[in-house]
Amino acid sequence: MIVSGTMEQALTPTADPAWLLRETGYELLRESTFETRFAISNGFLGVRGGLATHLGACRAVPPRTYVAGLFDTPTPDSAVPELVPAADWLEVRILLPDGPLMRHPDRASRGLTLDLKRGVLLAESRQTSNAPLDVRVRSLRLVSLDARAVGMQMIELDIETGVSDLTLEATFGPTDFELAPERAELDLRAWRTWRSARSLAIAAAAALQVDGMERQPTERGDLTWSWTWTASPGQVVSFQRIVAVTRHHSLDVHSGSRARKELAAARALGWRGLIARHEAAWAERWRSSDVRIEGDTAAQAALRFAAYHLNGAVNPADPHVSVAARALTGDDYRGHVFWDTEIFLLPFYSLTWPEAARALLMYRFRTLPAARAKAAAMGWRGALYAWESADTGAEVTPEQTVGPDRKILDILCGSQEQHISADVAYGVWQYWQATEDEAFLREAGAEIILETARFWASRAALEPDGLRHIRTVIGPDEYHEGVDDNAYTNGMARWTIARGLEVAALLQERWPETWACLSQRLGLDGPELGQWQEAGRTIATGFDPVTGLFEQFGGFSTLEDVDLKAYAGRSVPMDVVLGRERTQRTQVIKQADVVALLVLLPETFPDGTGVTNFDHYEPRCGHGSSLSRAMHGLAAARLGRAETALRYFHQSAAIDLADTHVAIGGGIHIAALGGLWLTAIFGFAGLSLRPDGVAFDPHLPAAWRSLEFRVQWRGRQLSVTLDQATQGLRVSLESGPPLTVFVGGIKHAVSGAAPLRLEGVGG
């Protein structure tokens, strides 16, 4: 390894504070929140921003490193797998001869800085009283965005006053409760999961320099190191540890060799090379996905924070995993994947990182057999995706939970929340619209759409009234269970069937051989497609042409209408205020439902009824889900209500960024973060993807002087700027062939040489 000297640079945060998230001081009860907010992740490894052990303070929660896809069931009879945390590879103890150095840390001096630009977490603290040494301790940690198996930790001790022997011990936290030890060697340890036959290996190397001179460890054990030396004023001590983590889907006796290879490659780069490549990978991500706002510092910070976590949540090289509801930042929801991914996150990836979007959809393709099995087990055809999905795609929604009143509650989402099967199809189609990735459509996407269309055609039963009904479901509004004809579910089901027919026609026309193979393999013939056509036309919509309203489900309008304004000051969700049973008898909605349909399928709302429905359902929504405000913000922005949208935008941002809202110890709310990006791009800029180009319908909030971002569309890179003063829109084509851009229904040809510059379009 390279000796210290330039550590200073590595430990110095980016100069522009707009790229930094900072906290100072220490409060035990807020630590868990910090750990979530300051998490680092590369889509394979996720590490919470836990307090470094060397501060000697007690911990509120154990440190956590998550490895994507490392699932196991907690007990032999449990059907609900959860992400198993890996050994804490950051554990360090700094000891005086008679105990920890940080016996009396100066807690006020503790500082945490998440450098969003560089993708590193920096920490700082001081020991200045009641000890023989005054020491400043600074540290850096990262999980490499360039080599995802690799994590790195650096610690620097600046000895300010005093002379004493000092020991630095670098160890690994225990995991034997969650994982069974398999191998323990000097540079490598391997474990297996107790029940799911997965294996995990960690190879590691560590080094310490005192005043630039490398020291051999005084003691050495399996993945543990200890150095003892005499500290004196002016001394600079540097410690670095590099780990390489690998996960295997079977119990593989060679599981350590890949970890060792990854470690050797990282060591060959040296820590400076490793940081340089990691930062270059982040620079590339920011080049594609940074959103710049002038005039609203809080919104700028929120969008950077959102893009930071979104970029860190995926691994484009791994189609075995998807993004969980809390990404790789916390225990809540056990690492399970929901509709959050396709509806709230995928557009960000499709338009800024298509390779990542493709990997997420390939996860759905890989889990298609489990979705088919679920549909068949429930007596339907095609594919019904799991409401909560882990590694195999089998349904893993827990069947019961403990309610706020400490009573056991049944959870029906696993059997009834079926709109997921349309949401996945929606994600596939949107990715196709954004990328025209033919290989993906032919190899995977078409099959997902056809099998989900087939599910809906079999699911919607024809009844004597001549309509097809989808009974006994849960829509996005989970306060109401076992409902019939949920407007969102039925609308998305009709849409999925229509896309199934469109995909079938597209394959027949453009790739007849692909169609011949696929239709034969799926046993899909003309009569069945005819039946889809009929089903797509006759599924009940719940739309009332007189009022212009979609009824959220059959009988919704007859339920008690509760005035939510009367509960404005509440600090708990409405279902807790009213109780579960009463809530079910009211029109109180957990989250955007008809409003979500309006966002996803605005064309299903005849003239002007979008506003009618928004105005009807918005006041009935209690926002009991973290997804809700983002969806309302997006809907409001698309309706041109920029100030309402901005209010929702800031409320959504506050979920993870302000301590005044729900506790976030269980992990970041990645869907809400995706929703911020959606509100900015699809909402305020009013982006729409069309078969023949892209369209903009800008509505900038008054406080935003400008909004600037990049998106990729079908092999092109576009840079977009909205300007408040001129109500202007500028679209530049940075790479790729010319395209058509629609603004206010008017077509504009845009090429590299001829950007689009319009004024007076932002109203």
Between CA 182 and CA 94 the distance in angstroms is 29
Residue 606, token pair as written in the block: 């005849």
The 3-class SS string of 15-65 reads: CCHHHEEEEECCCHHHHHHHHHHCCEECCCEEECCCCCHHHCCCCCCCCCE
Q: Residue 617 or residue 704: which is nearer to ligand BGC going by CB?
A: 617
Interacting stretch for ligand BGC, rule CB under 6 A, among 54-62, 188-196, 338-346, 543-551? 338-346
625 binds ligand BGC (CB under 6 A): yes
Q: Which run of H or of E encompasses 544?
A: strand 543-544
Task: Report in angstroms how near the CB of residue 591 gets to ligand BGC at its nearest.
Answer: 6
For residue 484, the SS3 value is coil
Q: Residue 401 or residue 472: which is nearer to ligand BGC going by CB?
A: 401
Q: Residue 240 or residue 625: which is nearer to ligand BGC going by CB?
A: 625
Output the CA–CA distances (angstroms, integers) from residue 8 to 210, 241, 265, 272, in the order listed: 15, 17, 24, 12
Interacting stretch for ligand BGC, rule CB under 6 A, among 176-184, 232-240, 331-339, 745-753? 331-339
For residue 131, the SS3 value is coil
Interacting stretch for ligand BGC, rule CB under 6 A, among 18-26, 137-145, 337-345, 514-522? 337-345
Give me the amino acid identity at 668: I
479 binds ligand BGC (CB under 6 A): no
Task: Report in angstroms how near the CB of residue 473 gets to ligand BGC at its nearest.
Answer: 14
The 3-class SS string of 244-271 reads: EEEEECCCCCCHHHHHHHHHHHHHHHHH
Task: Report in angstroms how near the CB of residue 477 gets to ligand BGC at its nearest.
Answer: 8
Say what the alpha-carbon torsion angle 420, 424, 426, 428 is, to the nearest 10 degrees.
180
Q: Residue 140 or residue 671: which is nearer to ligand BGC going by CB?
A: 671
Q: Residue 333 or residue 511: which is nearer to ligand BGC going by CB?
A: 333
Task: Report in angstroms how near the CB of residue 474 gets to ligand BGC at its nearest.
Answer: 9
Q: Residue 279 or residue 340: which is nearer to ligand BGC going by CB?
A: 340
- List 200's β-bridge partners, or say none: 191, 247
Between CA 314 and CA 69 the distance in angstroms is 12
Q: Which run of H or of E encompasses 591?
A: none
Which stretches of 34-174 are assigned E, i.e. beta strand?
40-41, 45-47, 65-67, 71-72, 82-83, 92-96, 99-100, 106-115, 120-127, 134-143, 150-161, 164-170
Contact 710, 697 (CB under 8 A): no
Contact 242, 271 (CB under 8 A): yes
Q: Residue 189 or residue 590: which is nearer to ligand BGC going by CB?
A: 590
Task: Report in angstroms how near the CB of residue 226 gets to ligand BGC at its nearest.
Answer: 43
Question: Of 38, 66, 246, 240, nearest to 147 (Cα)?
Answer: 246
Task: Report in angstroms how near the CB of residue 105 gets to ligand BGC at its nearest.
Answer: 37
478 binds ligand BGC (CB under 6 A): yes
Site mask for ligand BGC (CB under 6 A), range 694-733, x = bound = ----------------------------------------
* Single residue of 70, 325, 639, 711 touching ligand BGC by CB under 6 A: 325
Q: Residue 338 or residue 709: which is nearer to ligand BGC going by CB?
A: 338
Q: Residue 338 or residue 363: which is nearer to ligand BGC going by CB?
A: 338
69 binds ligand BGC (CB under 6 A): no
Say what the alpha-carbon torsion angle 541, 547, 553, 555 is, to the nearest 10 degrees.
-130
Q: Residue 131 or residue 345: which is nearer to ligand BGC going by CB?
A: 345
Question: Of 8, 89, 97, 94, nearest to 46 (Cα)?
Answer: 89
Residue numbers 582-601 binding ligand BGC by CB under 6 A: 590-591
Residue numbers 367-426 binding ligand BGC by CB under 6 A: none
Q: Residue 327 or residue 741: which is nearer to ligand BGC going by CB?
A: 327
* Single residue of 225, 338, 543, 648 touching ligand BGC by CB under 6 A: 338
Residue numbers 653-672 binding ligand BGC by CB under 6 A: 671
Contact 761, 743 (CB under 8 A): yes
Burial of 323-339, coded b for 16+ CB within 10 Å and e otherwise, reads bbbbbbbbbbbbbbbbb
Task: Report in angstroms how near the CB of residue 338 gets to ligand BGC at its nearest.
Answer: 4
Q: Which run of H or of E encompasses 557?
A: none
Interacting stretch for ligand BGC, rule CB under 6 A, among 278-286, 305-313, 336-344, 681-689? 336-344
Interacting stretch for ligand BGC, rule CB under 6 A, among 117-125, 299-307, 332-340, 605-613? 332-340
Residue numbers 203-222 binding ligand BGC by CB under 6 A: none
Between CA 192 and CA 179 the distance in angstroms is 6
CA 613, chain centre distance (Å): 29
Q: Which run of H or of E encompasses 571?
A: none
* Single residue of 340, 423, 551, 656 touching ligand BGC by CB under 6 A: 340
324 binds ligand BGC (CB under 6 A): no
Residue numbers 498-557 binding ligand BGC by CB under 6 A: none
Task: Report in angstroms how near the CB of residue 101 gets to ligand BGC at its nearest.
Answer: 42
Residue numbers 280-299 binding ligand BGC by CB under 6 A: none
Residue with token string 């500082």: 111
Q: Residue 270 or residue 666: which is nearer to ligand BGC going by CB?
A: 666
Q: Residue 354 or residue 674: which is nearer to ligand BGC going by CB?
A: 674
Question: Of 532, 423, 540, nearest to 484 (Cα)?
Answer: 540
DSSP state of 382: S
* Single residue of 339, 353, 363, 543 touching ligand BGC by CB under 6 A: 339
Task: Report in angstroms how near the CB of residue 343 gets to ligand BGC at its nearest.
Answer: 9
Q: Residue 225 or residue 338: which is nearer to ligand BGC going by CB?
A: 338
Q: Residue 7 or residue 671: which is nearer to ligand BGC going by CB?
A: 671
674 binds ligand BGC (CB under 6 A): no
Task: Report in angstroms how near the CB of residue 669 gets to ligand BGC at its nearest.
Answer: 7
**270 in the Ramachandran plot: left (φ > 0), alpha (ψ -120 to 50) or beta?**
left
627 binds ligand BGC (CB under 6 A): yes
Output the CA–CA distances (angstroms, integers) from residue 358 to 364, 387, 595, 688, 715, in the order listed: 10, 20, 27, 20, 14
Show the CA angle centred on residue 192, arms to residues 395 and 41, nearest 5°.
70
Task: Report in angstroms how near the CB of residue 475 gets to ligand BGC at its nearest.
Answer: 10
476 binds ligand BGC (CB under 6 A): yes
622 binds ligand BGC (CB under 6 A): no
Q: Interface with ligand BGC by CB under 6 A: which residues?
A: 325, 333, 338-340, 476, 478, 590-591, 625, 627, 671
